Structure 1
Amino acid sequence: MGFIETSKPSWRIPYDDEQAVGLLEQALDKVFSAPNIQNILIICVGTDRSTGDAFGPIVGTQLTQGAPMPYVQVKGTLENPVHAVNLSSTLEEVRNSYSHTPFILAIDACLGRFDHVGHITLEPGPLRPGAGVKKNLPEFGDMTLTGVVNVSGFMEYFVLQNTRLGIVMKMSEIVVQSLKNSLWKFQIRKNMSSSLHTS
């Protein structure tokens, strides 16, 4: 469960907005259309031992289902979560695995204001995982996507444990559909670019 700064321009989309998938997809399209992005690595942080903190692994699991995308990799699923214990080793593995640094999208649950619960936020810059529950973990990511699953400010661990699974699932469905749509378009662009270079 993380915390992001909100001083930079960002997209904040309520999950129950009828246009939520389209709005988030458009925002992701703008991010992924940057010409310098060669590969995308999505790191979904969290654990299924806490209902609220399961947002990231649920998104990661659903993203890995379906046709593989050669230019996109996902880390952090219900089966193989990325959490406080293994985050540093996961980031070290990433540094050693790529000859060219990938564009990293960090995904995590977040606590926030009461009127922001249910909002999906996409913002430039690194995620500060664990900050919402006073943990000191390494920052990472070029872009951060968070789901505000509950209210911050008091007994954060208890709040996360008692977050409704329904809202976590609904938010994850919006994020996964938007990401799959946008990543599919990114994949097509990469395939076309590769074909032009090899023809």
Structure 2
Amino acid sequence: MLIDYRESATFDPGAGFYHPTMKTVDGRIIPSSDRLLHDFLKKAAWTVDEQDELTLLRNLGSRRMPVTSEQSSSGDDETGVFSIGATRLLSIGTTGETVSRSRPLEVHLRWKFHGERDVFPWMLLRLSRDEKATVAVLVKGLCAPEATEGIYTENWRVLTAVGLLPGDYSLEALFVDNSKRAWFESTGGAGGESTLLSAPVSLGHIKVEQ
């Protein structure tokens, strides 16, 4: 199963296919598109390969255990980066300070999910020069949509960063409720800032080489 998080036909709220949690006129609750995807994926175990805006999931059959063998109580003493509902980001970091064609940028995330998931973060990576001039915002997409209760790790390769002009860049991870953000934009409503699930998370600096 291949998910392209920049594919507009799939993630286009204007077409009505991608939407936040909604309530119908007769009082029924329609889960968000992100929740519906999670409900589908949680029925099985998957291997996951994440690169740029693409995520490739391979079905391993019926789910038997979390992706990691860590006990569900692990991580309880960790403050973490942010927590919302049943979702806690325990840690996030990058590998290496220099990025080139032979050494792409890698971002590692460690999550803890406790109980039924009700929030499904999307991650964006903002690259800036001189601490303030945004050069690019790269899309990772949904964070561990296949994950249920327990601790999960993600390893995201960012090959598109190699295409930037050589130099030093600061990195920030942005976590948003994307179905709400996209809906606000498509309907012309305000509230885009309210879809941020946490303050921007600094990931330090990288140096891009040819």
Q: TM-score range by the shorter chain?
A: under 0.3
Give the TM-score normalised by the residue count of structure 1: 0.28
Give the TM-score normalised by the residue count of structure 2: 0.27
| Bigger proportion of residues as helix | 1
Larger Cα-atom Rg: 2
| Bigger proportion of residues as strand | 2
